[in-house]
Structure 1
Amino acid sequence: MATKRIESPLPGVIYLSPAPGEPVFKAPGDSVAVGDTLALVEVMKSYMPVEADQAGIFRGYLVETETVLEPGEPLCELEV
């Protein structure tokens, strides 16, 4: 299987869970389906989901929650 890096589509603050204190969207080893939300990007008080465009196994996040990322910066990895 190959490893695919999911990159931030927009500049903004990355959130790895749906709300503070909640579990992360995906944990290493979780199955990922096309369209699953992997993170949220906050841009000017709007929250945009980062969704999987391929199915696979989640390998892990490459950043911490509330990290500021630019477009194209790696966010997480999938085994596809």
Structure 2
Amino acid sequence: MSTVDAQMPGVFYRRPSPDADPYIEPGTVVQPGQTLGLIEVMKTFNEIKAEKACRVKEVLLEDGEEVDIGQSMFEVDDA
């Protein structure tokens, strides 16, 4: 098991808009470059992308939760 950690401080979002479905759910197998979530910094949205193929075990943050550099956002296993 490993984690996907924040590369910047900001506000975390699991979905592209309040009425949209989350990018991923626990159990989702993702491919390299696939969007996992967003971090908003000063009204700029930065996509969090998978670096490798993996299965998302757990999403560790809720929509609108503040995140710090190095904070774990997702637990993942190799796909």
TM-score in same-fold range (> 0.5): yes
How far apart, in 1, do the equivalents of 2:2 and 2:53 lie?
A: 10
Task: Give the aligned partner of residue 47 of structure 2.
Answer: 49
Note the 1:48-67 alignment, pairs <5 A: 48-67=46-65
1:74 aligns with 2:75: no
1:40 aligns with 2:38: yes
- Give the share of equivalent positions with the same residue, in percent: 29
Structure 1's unaligned 5+ residue stretches are none
Look up the equivalent residue of 2:16 and give its one-letter code. P
Moved over 2 A (4+): none
Deviation at 1:54, TM superposition (A): 1.2
- Could you say what secondary structure the match of 2:26 adopts? coil
Deviation at 1:23, TM superposition (A): 1.1
TM-score where L is the length of structure 2: 0.93
Look up the equivalent residue of 2:63 and give its one-letter code. T
CA RMSD of aligned residues (A): 0.8
TM-score where L is the length of structure 1: 0.92
Structure 2's unaligned 5+ residue stretches are none
Deviation at 1:29, TM superposition (A): 1.2
Look up the equivalent residue of 1:76 and give its one-letter code. F
- The aligned length equals 78
Deviation at 1:16, TM superposition (A): 0.5
- Could you say what secondary structure the match of 2:37 adopts? strand
